[in-house]
Amino acid sequence: MAKLFRSIPKALAMAGLAAAMGISTGLQAQEIKISHQWKAQVDGRDRATRLFVSEVEKADPSLKFRIYPAQSLGIKPVAQLDALQNGTLEMAVFPMSYAVGKAQEFSAVILPGTIPNLDFAMSLKKTGYYTKLQELSEKHGFRIITWWWTPGGFAAKDKAVTGPESVSGMKLRAADPTFESMLKAAGASVTAMASTEIYSGLQSGVLNGTLTSAETFVSMRLYEQTKHATVGGESALWMLLQPLVMSKQAWDKLTPKQKKIFQEAADKSDAFFLTIQRESTMKMAEAYVKAGGTSREMSKAEFDAWVALAKKTAYPEYAKLSPTAKGLLDELLKAAAPKKKS
């Protein structure tokens, strides 16, 4: 017993030394909360989150998570960033364009036509774009953990969207200022809102069309409020990074071993999520046809017309924001440029 009591001061001293030296003791004593806005067990973002959690807990049983789907934690989608920054929330599945209110440079995750397909999106993790985006994220209090990209498209109540001229007079939601700039130039009016508000916006007449991810069109049943979908084709006009992110405060508390476990779990969830997204546009098209609507793919000529408009509006406006914005756009364009043959 005396020996036990003698060991207590030593243990406390060691803990104090670790704290003084900035050595992390991990998050073992804390439940890690994960918040998101989508339906449990239905939406791919929730399913991939559960895979990530399972892999981490398998590798380190001392780490415990609790997932709060469908805003059940009481934090609205955009407000999740505030909670991550102040440390009251450890993790979230976060559409990165929602961060533009804090820093407009985050529009780099959705710039029209810059992410033409999922393979290109996944390849960006090995480029300067990823490094710069991670630096921007950590500057604003969170770290990107997974690399989940979601293709999407248009849907409207009265007619199918084709080229830029087709949206003139429409009331649309686009998810980001760069898209809004392009759509306004094409003659549309735009309303900013989180994806959880799109259904009611369409129902009330605030919107008569929208852009969002194919996954969201299906999981939130937007085909009940719109009839004409434009999704898929040779290249994606709308592609958004919606990763699992972590509060920088919580990330910094992880030990090096735990960080490695997180990354390995993230890699597995990335592969799973990619498989889901490869089928997402097809499932969106099927959902519209099954509901009595129509679905069409965007033609190459239509895509090129949209990109030409973006190059006159969204791209230069974004690049003027700051050197960080220009650097992110330059990295995207460099990654997309044809590789020179040696």
Q: Using 50, 70 and 90 to split pLDDT, how confident is the model at 4?
A: very low
DSSP classification of residue 72: T
pLDDT in tens, 249-273: 999 999 999 999 999 999 999 999 9
Average pLDDT over residues 314-342: 91
The predicted pLDDT at position 191 comes to 96
DSSP 31-63: EEEEE-SS-TTTSHHHHHHHHHHHHHHHH-TT-
pLDDT in tens, 213-243: 999 999 999 999 999 999 999 999 999 999 9
Average pLDDT, the chain: 92
Q: Using 50, 70 and 90 to split pLDDT, how confident is the model at 3?
A: very low
Helices (H) and strands (E) in the chain, counts: 13, 12
pLDDT in tens, 149-198: 999 999 999 999 999 999 999 999 998 999 999 999 999 999 999 999 99
Token reading at 52: 């990530």
Judge if pTM exceeds 0.85: yes
Token reading at 132: 């710069």
| Domains of the chain in sequence order | 26-148+242-278 (3.40.190.170), 151-239+280-335 (3.40.190.170)
CA distances from 341 to 50, 123, 338 (A): 43, 19, 9
Buried b (16+ CB within 10 A) or exposed e, 144-165: bbbbbbbbbbbbbbeebbbbbe
Burial of 203 (0-12, 13-18, 19+ CB in 10 A): exposed
Listed in sequence order, the residues at least 6 apart from 211 whose beta carbon sits closer than 8 Å to its beta carbon are 152, 153, 154, 172, 173, 174, 175, 179, 238
